Homo-oligomer: A and B are copies of this chain.
Amino acid sequence: MERSGAVSDDIGIGMVGYGFMGKAHANAFHKLRYMTWPPPLVPRLVTIAGRSEDAVAEAARRYGFEGHATDWRDVVADDRVGLFDNLGPNDLHAEPTIAAARAGKHVVCEKPLGRTADEAYDTWRQVEATGVKHLCAFNYRFVPAVRLARQMLEAGEIGEVRHFRASYLQDWLTDPLAPWTWRLDAGAAGSGALGDLGTHVIDLARYLVGEISAVSAATRRFVPERPGGRVTVDDAFASIVEFEGTALGTIEATRYANGRKNALTWEINGSKGSLAFDLERLNELQVFRADGDRARGFRNVLVSEADHPFWGWWWPPGHIIGWEHTFVHEITHLLQAIAEDGEVGPYGATFEDGYRAAEVCDAIVRAAETGRRQEVAYRA
């Protein structure tokens, strides 16, 4: 922690952004202090930045920050800050994050890391060069059920993976009168369902199965004009993903799936068994073992017991946790890496993971535009 000077067991937090993700991250910083005990470092909420003075001042009071700012540069310049947490819109990911790293702060950046693979690559390389710890907030790696899946796959319990099929379905744009937001603008967001939802799935595909080597894809923009502005991003995409080796997959995301609220579902079929997951029931993992037991079938594992990942932090068996808890796990994981000068990967997503997901996104865009399968090449 000598990088940021003042802290010893504490680490000063500087946050940019105070919307829904700000609430989620602020909650994590508060909660990890007592849910895991002792915490690797004690977060000290130093300052939070946002463009609107009134709003950010209220956010600071609400979330317990000592101060606030209207310019992210003030956060970067603040010596008390040891960890810079960037929750801004996608077009404010690169510059502030790089600046913070250069100022010696560890950095968290919300996904997608960049609007393009080039931007993400540049962010990764520049931050990496500073030597700080970096985490791209693919928080679904920190769902206990997802971690359990990863452990089972690592242990070979599922065998060789043949199939990965996943989709991330929401429905908040089914109403053609739902208003325009920055998430629908290519300049601010880079892409639509692809960057917002698809990157989560791509990251899980890489985390659980392995590197993606080729993609085919199609995209859709169902409602090009909305109250408040033009839609210049994709509303939905569908893709075929081919992994290194032989595994075959599909990844799809949309904001037009009526009745699906936050339905990130994936299924993995391997030579020894299968796994399936649904984010709307994130405490459960479906597990099939091809073990010859006559009573075989998908088991609904309620991942909430003493021998399950992260469970020591929480409650007695079956007392389920919520979506926001993934951030508690994720931020604590990062603080552990900072405290021990350990690695963020492979269980946490680094900026390299953020970049690699962006490379897949770019390939999906190219495949959709050209109608041709695209190889995915990763830069070192």
Q: How many copies does the complex hold?
A: 4
Q: Answer whether residue A290 sits at the interface, using C-beta atoms and an 8 A cutoff.
A: yes
**Residues of B with C-beta under 8 A to A260:** 269, 274, 318
Instruction: Give the complex CA separation of A100 and B234 in angstroms.
Output: 52
Residues of B within 8 A of A92 (CB): none
For the complex, would chain A's binding face be called helix, strand, loop or mixed by DSSP majority? Answer: mixed
- Contact of A296 (CB < 8 Å), options: B63, B259, B274: B259
Is the Cβ of A273 less than 8 Å from the Cβ of B259?
A: yes
Residue of B nearest to A164 (CB): B238
Residues of B within 8 A of A308 (CB): 294
Whether A299 contacts B302 by the Cβ 8 Å rule is no
Supposing A216-B240, A269-B254, A294-B148 touch, asked if A262 and B317 sit within 8 A by C-beta, the answer is yes
Which residues of A (138-187) have their CB < 8 Å from a CB of B?
148, 152, 157, 162-163, 165, 167, 169-172, 174, 176
Closest beta carbon of chain B to A46's beta carbon, Å: 16
Of the listed stretches A4-12, A20-28, A117-125, chain B binds: A20-28
Q: Bound complex: CA of A240 vs CA of B373, how far in Å?
A: 12
Q: How far is the CB of A294 from chain B (nearest CB, A)?
A: 5
Complex Cα distance A323/B315, Å?
A: 9
Closest to A282 in B: B320
- Shortest C-beta distance, A161 to chain B (Å), equals 10
Given contact pairs A31-B31, A297-B299, A371-B372, a sample of 10 additional A-B residue pairs in the complex whose CB atoms are under 8 Å apart: A165-B238, A250-B252, A254-B269, A262-B320, A281-B281, A287-B297, A295-B301, A299-B299, A319-B323, A321-B324
List chain A positions with a Cβ less than 8 A from chain B.
20, 23-24, 26-27, 30-31, 33-35, 37-38, 62-64, 148, 152, 157, 162-163, 165, 167, 169-172, 174, 176, 216-218, 220, 222, 236, 238-240, 242, 246, 248-250, 252, 254, 256-263, 267, 269-274, 279-285, 287-290, 294-302, 304-305, 307-308, 315-325, 367, 371-373
14 A-B contact pairs sorted by A residue (CB < 8 Å): A23-B35, A162-B220, A162-B236, A162-B254, A162-B257, A216-B240, A259-B269, A259-B290, A261-B305, A261-B318, A298-B299, A299-B299, A320-B323, A371-B372
